Structure formats: structure tokens, C-alpha cells
Amino acid sequence: MAHNRLLYKKSHKKETISEDYKEKDTILENSHTSNIQFLSNHVMNYISLRTVPVILRNGYKKVVVNALLDNGSTKTYLNSDVAGELSLQGKTEKVTVNIINGKIDSFETMPVEFQLESLNGETKITVEAFIVNNVTGNLKAVNWANMSKSWKHLRKIEFPNIRPKPKIDILIGVDYAELHCAIKEVKGGFNEPVARLTPLGWTCVGGIGGSLQTHFTKITSSTKEIEDANNTLKKLWEIEGEEEMQFRKIMTSPEDSTALNIVTNSLKTENRRYELKLPWKGNRYLDNNYTMALNRLQNTEKRLIKNKSLGEEYNNIIKQYQEKGYLEKINKRDLGDGWYLPHFAILHPDKSTTKVRIVFDGSAKYNGKSINDVIYQGPKLQQDLVTVLLRFRKYLVALACDIAEMYFKIGKHKDDQSAFYGSICNARTRKKVCKKFPLASEAVLEATYMDDTITSLVDGKVGIQLYKELTLLWGSAGMFARKWLSNSVEVLKITPENDRAEHINLDSGELPAMKTLGVV
């Protein structure tokens, strides 16, 4: 089977391939042997700027990135993917910067605030930075911990190791001049690098010399192509090739920031239940759609009459919603101008609970508008399915649970109570609620998809601790975690039997294979 190209790193070397290889490569056979000769010339010539690894914090979140100390910048800038990873938010504003040759560039950005620390923890400072997509372009940090051995005057200096990815994620300008100051400098001969000890650690600036190097390599390979296997492996490597499974978020738009600000500023607790305002857009006016909603209801009733068991289950769910305070019956005299949400049934016969689910249709349009059209969607704060599943398979012990009626547990401000759940902002507001709890926040923020939390842990002891924390976290928001599932008997033993997923019998000595998020 031929090695997939994704196994090999890209090379910037100039390669000369022998004629012997070129001829054989044009022969289309299922199996062939070829001789490959590589002649490569490489000149190393690079100027290193002053870079140093630092720690960035926002609340309980922390990342280690490479920083550039730039004396030529009057502002500090941060890459948007790191801002997303730290869940940084702010108000967007327009910034104008002077580039080379007197050119001026204007762009929208977002000032954010976070904590910056040196690796040794001796320097800690609150920093405000502007978010940009790629602050230093293709500039890479030089690992002076290795390169210093090439110069006698640098050999005894303990340079910090840069991050595995040499990308620079933060540019520190002279607006934080105290971080640039020289505590100590070490110089060599003419044109040799100069080391400087700063409050953030040792840095080095200068040219990295080199000479022309020629390498000659001859490889003999025998390959047999199996197309289906190649395609399958390619898909696998594409998914698992993300280093350290870091799936970073994208910088939010101005509309997303507005939505988050509305939700954050209105969020409050009322009787162990969270309440918030809907992020309405400027013009929230909707025509009275009573006639359309009534026609939809009559069509739904026809279906319920034809299927008696479905009709009974539907009515029972409506009654339960009333008993739990999710719905409130109004008198006919209270009917007036407003927006009425159509609703319909979705069947899940394979589910152990909630075989019938009522969906309130926030996308239903009347006169060209729906309620979703006048509510800000908000940013995507929940993880995508692939990310959650990759985290799920990372460690030995699996743990999963379902949050019962999650979206009904979040109340709306009295001014918005004519709008019901099912609108597009609820998944985002749910994530804002969960961010207030630091203990189980990683599982909620990084390993929760819709109303299912699914993650993996190093051992059963950690699994037990997470079970306890998640139970308290969801309970503090008036939410109930149920259908607990794990491949660890140790974890399942502490969960009440009625709260476990169905068909789990600890006395049998075996745990069944079950689906979660539609995957076995």
C-alpha cells in the first residue's frame, strides 16, 4: 500500500529528481518499484526578532503562546484564534494603523483584556490588546534554547523553550514599555546575536548565519496502491492530524458581540433558575400571525387524531409543561397582537426516554418574517461534533450524561415571555450560563453537544469527581443530569440506579455497548 502524502511534512528544499525516477513514475501499474534520487541545496539565512514564550489567562482558562516584543509598535495585538480559546469578548471598533511607505490601513477589531505572565511567574500584568487574524504573518519564533549552542557568548544562558508550534500569537508593543526593558544584555562579536534578559525572560535578536549545504539521498521504494484503503486512511489522518487536538474558535462579529452583551448584562438568577433577555435586533416588530399559527395547529391536530397514541402522548407533554411552569394557559380575552409559535411532534421510537418531542418552530415565517429573523443568532459557542467525539476517545474512562429538558430550564425576562424556546439563540445563552462554574466548566464548554455531555478521563477516580461536580453544576442551575453512562463500573456504582442509562446491570459483570450522540 502506498504511503499517503499526509504522512510527510512539506519541505522548502530545492530537489533534483533523477531521470530514472521520472521515467518509472509515468508507468501506471498497480505495483511497481522505483529508484528516487534527491539532490537538495539549502542556505540558512534568517534574522531573529525578540520573541519569548508567555502565559495568557482569562479566568480559569490558560494558554502558553509565543510573544514578539516589538519596539516599533505603539499597540499590542493578539491573534483571533487565541482570543477565542480564552473566550475573550469586547466591543468592536475601527482602528487605523500606519504601514510602510506612509500607507494607512483601517480595519475593525476588538479590544480585549487578559492576564499576561512570564513562564517563571515573576511577572504578572493585565494587558489590553486588539484582536487581529494573523498578527505577524509567516514570522516564526527561533528556539534559542537550541540555537544558542552555536555562539560561545550565548551557551550559558538559559533561554526558554518556545512552543511546539513556532507561530507568534501576541505582539507586545511599547504601550507596555516595562516589558521591553533590559535587565541584562550579553553581546558577542560584530554581527553576532545579542541576548537580553527582560521581565518576561531571556530573548535574543540578530542574524543566524549559515552556509550552503548539499545533501544526496537515494531511495528505493516498492509500492502497491489500494485506492479504497488510501482514501479511508486519508480521511482518518485529516481528522486526527490536528496537533494536540486544539480546535480554536473564530473571532466574533459585531452582531455576535451585541448578542453576547445583551445576554450577559441581563443574566440573573430567580428561584434557582436563570433568567435572561432575548437578544432582539433593532426592529423587533412582527405582524400578528394568529391565523397562520391556528392553521398549523389544525393540521397538527389532524395528525394527532389519526394516531391516537401519539395524540395522548402529545397532550401529556403539554400538561407536564404546564405543571412544571414552562407554559402558562391564557384566556381568550388576552389574545391580541403578538407572535404565535407553531408547534409539531417529532418521533424518536428508538429512544428510552422522550419518544415524542414537541418542537416549537422559530423559523416559521409570516409575511416574509420569522421570530428568528428579528433575534441575533449569536456566536457558535458550543463545540462541533467531531471535536467532542475526539475528546471522548482521548482517555481510558468514558463518561456521558443527558440534561433533561435543558432549554426549558432557562427563563426569559417578562418582556420576552411571549417568545418561546426553539429560537436560534438558546444554545448560545445556555453556554453563557455554564461559563459561571469553573469546576466542571471544561466538560460543559468543551465536551457538551446540545444537551449531552460526553467526555473521557484518565481513570475512575477522576470520573467519580467529575460526576459529582457535574451533578452539582447542573443542579445549581435547576437542571437535572440523567442517563449516566460509563465504561467504568467504579464510576457507575456511585450513580443512583434510576439515574443511569437503561439496560445497565452491574450484577451481570458486563457493560452493554450503547450509543451516545448516535455513535456506538
Written as one letter, the residue type at 498 is N
Contact status, residue 35 vs residue 219, Cβ threshold 8 Å: yes
- Interval 436-495: pLDDT, tens: 555 577 788 788 877 888 888 888 888 888 888 888 888 877 788 888 888 888 888 888
Measure CA of the first residue to CA of the last residue in the chain; give whole Å.
29
- Interval 290-308: pLDDT, tens: 889 889 999 889 988 988 8
Q: In what order do the strands lie in the sheet with 31-43?
A: 14-17, 31-43, 212-224
Report percent pLDDT > 90 for the chain: 7
pLDDT at 1 over 50: no
Residues whose CB falls within 8 Å of the CB of residue 487, separated by 6 or more in sequence, listed in order:
397, 398, 511
pLDDT at 513: 65
Q: What is the DSSP string of 187-254?
A: --STT--EEEEETTEEEEEEEE---EEEEEEEEEEEEE--HHHHHHHHHHHHHHTSGGG--PPPPPPH
Find the helix or strand (DSSP H, E) in which 47 lies. Answer: strand 46-48
pLDDT at 333 over 80: no
pLDDT at 64: 92
pLDDT at 366 over 70: yes
- Interval 2-30: pLDDT, tens: 333 333 334 444 444 333 433 333 333 44
Instruction: Please give the average per-residue pLDDT across 400-423, as a whole number.
Output: 66
pLDDT at 330: 77
Residues whose CB falls within 8 Å of the CB of residue 189, separated by 6 or more in sequence, listed in order:
none
DSSP 8-state symbol, 296: H
pLDDT at 329 over 50: yes
Torsion of CA 262, 265, 268, 273, to 10 degrees: 30
Contact status, residue 218 vs residue 37, Cβ threshold 8 Å: yes
- Interval 98-128: pLDDT, tens: 665 666 666 777 888 999 999 888 889 999 9
CA distance 240 to 246: 11
The pTM for the full model equals: 0.43
Instruction: Find, among 299, 261, 297, the residue nearest to 280 by Cα.
Output: 261
Mean pLDDT (the chain) is 74
| 290-306 and 308-323 helices, crossing angle to 10° | 130
β pairing state of 397-404 and 452-457: antiparallel
Sign of CA pseudo-dihedral 105, 107, 112, 118: negative
Find the helix or strand (DSSP H, E) in which 21 lies. Answer: helix 19-25
